[in-house]
Structure 1
Amino acid sequence: MADNWVDTVAGEFRHWADRRATDDEARAPVDAEGVRLLLDLAREELDLSGPGALTPPLLRELLLEVFPESVVVAADEAPAVVDAVRLLLAFLRDTGAADAASAAALEAELDRLVPEFTEVVAAADTSERQAAAELVTGMMLAEGVPVDDREAVDRWVRDFEALPEEERYARTERYLRDIEERVVPPVRLAPGPELAAAAQAGGLAAEVRALAGWTGDGRAVDEHGELPAADALAAVEALALPVPRRSESVRVQADLPELDRLWWAAVDAEVIVVEDAGAGPGPALPLLEGEGDAEAVLDAWLRVFDGVAVPEHDPEGGLDAVRLVQNELTGVLIHLYEQEEPSAADELAAVLIEHVTEAYESADARELAAAVREALALELDDLVRWGVARSAGEAGAGYALTPLGVWGVRELLLADGFAAPVVGDLAAAPAAELVAGLTWHRQDTADEEIDGWLAGRDAKAAAGDLLEVMGTGGPGARNLAAAVLQRVGPEAADVVREAAERRPVRPYALLWLDRLAEPQDGGERGALDRDDYLWLFVDTVAGMLETADPGEAVAAALADAPAGADLSGMVQEMWRSDHPDAAEVLRALGDHHPDRLIAKAARTAAYKARSVRAPS
């Protein structure tokens, strides 16, 4: 049948339904569009060549897997979907597209599917509604809509729904990409009292305390709330404050950049108060001197750190390298936050230089790079002196955040709308949240998170929850859930063995039984057969393709393949796999496998996978 068979069949169905309604005016309205949607899904997702090719196994796959993944419907709409399917089957019987025996088998299968389909739709409805609510709320917050203002929320929703579908989709995609970019790796946090002690003992608090103490009973300030030049110089001398950035002549406070930044950070944090043309110690000073609990001390320190890391009082004049690097300091801090190992000064400078040369115009890029490198070195010295960073190895060999620096940068990230998870946050989470959260973890923190999650659960219950995620989630979720399942003990053997009857879970369950189950548990050492192994390989690569570039996904899959694996033979057989992503995986292998013969075989197999539906 031609590629447009859905158009033809949908038209024939409408005529059939119209004649049927004319014969019996009491008949319920026909959902022709719903039937058209089902036909489209059958053609596109099941590679159905025509309505007569529909079989009971394909009907099961269409309703329990394809439809819930592709269509969002409310739970109370499930009966209407079933009615549409039932009407479609009646059409196939009446028009001869399906013979009487085939139509009867399809109708019997539909009757068996109704309870399970209703449950699947209800579960999808709950999760979809929650996900949609979270998405809409996030988009509104990102656009500055106060979500506690009912009128503002309703207005945003009306405006959004009035947009063309393409624009709504594009706007949502932009938001989701931005969200993905605003997630940083999980970190471990030191205990609050330890952090508070570090904050009080650190150089940043010491310098601010000294500056506030120097103001004594009050110091005169100008109309801008700054110290006169003579007093600014006196403060620098009294504090023994390093001022390598100072101007040759000091006419205003800003000519001493180190003091100026410290001054305004102290004022913003209320460690120093400026009022009535005078300045003196503020109400936050006692907190940095040891008064108050750990939370209050950290809050006071964070306000000072925010002031020096994100300066808002930029002096007038051009953007020289010193101010440019200060403006970009948060980027340096985020880079340090995201690294597993200390970052060399040259590495930090190279990343920053690449960014500023793209973001700022300069007549002499080489001169700008040299100035940025020098200014960054001064910033790193400050961070070390303040107790925010530490120098690792020889001088300048590498820099890493201190535990206080990690805490402080994370607080700044959270305030700026980043998702900044902490190791241990997922210990009490449901299995689905654990699996979703593990996406952002490195191997070491993932292992720690998994251990914490398993420690609080019975092995059978943990396995059951993980298997549920594997049965309902996509390849990526299945891969991660299977990795967690491998850490579950042999007490869960009965639960895993039972799950081995379900296709999406079967290969992983058999692999678990083969590796972990004890011989006395019944002897089911579940070695994978060829079909299972092919399905597992496709599922693994498909999971990688969800988050990685196809070339990277293929490289990772090849690196993880067992030694001696016959990949050439696998590729030639893979198109027969009933995995829905077989064609996509073969296409990725065809485009990126380093062996030209295997790549060619993969491209050929991908064509077969797209053209012929593998038997269920």
Structure 2
Amino acid sequence: MSIEWVNRAIDGLRAWGREKGVEVDVDEVRLLCDYASDYLEVDELGDFRPGTFEELLLEIYPRKVIAPPESAPETVAAARTLVDFLLDTGEIGTKTAARMRATITEIEPEMPRALADTTKFGMAKSIFSAIGADALDLVDTGDDEDDEGLLGASPSDMFGTAPLPAVRLVPAQEVAGAVREVPLLGDAHRLAGWLAERGRTATTRKSLRVSDAREIEAELGIRWPAAVFRLALELGLARLDGTAVHVEEGHPSLANRSDDDVLALWHGTVKFVTSSAWLITGEEIVDEELGSIHELLYRLQAPVPADAIRDYLSDFADGRTMERLETALHDLAYAGTVQYGDDGLMLTPHGVWGLRARYELLGMHAPVAADLAEGDASGLIGGLITDGLPAEVAERDIVAWLSRRTAQEAAQELFGAVAGAPAEVRGIAVTIVDRLGEEAAPVVRTYLDDAELRPHAIHWLTARGLPAPTLTQDEVLWISVDMLALALPAAEADPEGFAENIAVSGPPAHLIEDMWRVEHPDVVEVLELLGNSLPDKAAAKAARKAAFKARSRGIR
């Protein structure tokens, strides 16, 4: 996109609006111009035609913009304002303006239906529709200045001016260790050494010779040697003297390079992989969509569900699309920036690290989340709940936090922070305390007088064979409800996974029957969850019956 002409057009539009006393929706008109430039080869205001508005409002907006159908009138109004501006500034004539206005009038009743048509959604829009648009808080900074996004194009259509979220980073040493195992980088290193060792040369255009590419693919097993060779040149793993290929003396392996050297190579690799001009497959597989996948994953900090990715395929009639898209996503995993599995697509820890460095290099503010291990128990628990951290990152935080305290100090902080707290908060503290050894027993015993923590304290002591009171039947019921209440958020996020787990470890029907008596604020929700999730029909029926009794008791 030519940012310059759009900026000039918006400046002119503002001045025109002030002069005419017209209220102008600058953001909406800018979006019209951006999309026209990106997708319809509009390089200046005079390039707008009646058909431009039809394609923008009925094809591109439904595909790219996350907006409810009821927002259509605002966009239509902005289009009409743009036509008035084009006419008044002499960019179009009166006849063209009349045709544009007639086209917009025809579009007006159609646009809400187009925005609601899920078959028109692009990949990014499908993902957010599946996850929920509120997965990302779109913040308006009030800054109308365009800047270059991660990929050297306009900022991502989905995110607008939303700031980058704070991310958790693994230590640089761990990043370097993971990067040494990235297949793409390893292949670039091997390919450079192979060419130099055999005295092979590049073409005069600095490309790999076709015969060498075939030999490299057969001998080294590198599927896209031409692309890997370009990466090797960009990283300095190989250099050209005319057409002769050279490597640095000794050509040290990735294992023998310093962490700083490896991280520098990773910076270059991330830049290469996220370049919109390059795909590992070498096929033009909807590159505009795949080009922004890294930023999408960075902002979500969570896996993109496989179903949401498959929703994207509804855009295409090509029967090979699913196969090609799946291949492309696996190839991105080969590049080391993402990992792709049953849960969908997500960034690797070193992918997050590299992307953040890339953002910073581009002058974007890319904050780092606070180190949970540096804070108190409340900060640790709150961060584990609100940050939605991947399991390996959460585990690292917990281990680091515990390493800075004695067992007794940890138990005191954790239990002290959650006395009287909701079940989810209390449950996390209990699970962390459960990691502690017998040396924490004196502190745990002090919580036998706390009504909510007493059953957990008894269970903790008993599990270690230490003297402890016997759990009463009421306490058994209470702790059962309390631990199930901890699972409520996870069950809501992944009902099928919860159902599988509860089928193996769920409470028996005779215990469920009495849960309605428990004085616990989450008892109704827990029983309803069991009633909807337990595969055992008798246990599920007992849960539904108990939920009814619990609700009735609350009404009385």
TM-score, normalization by structure 1 = 0.46
Bigger-Rg structure (1/2): 1
TM-score, normalization by structure 2 = 0.50
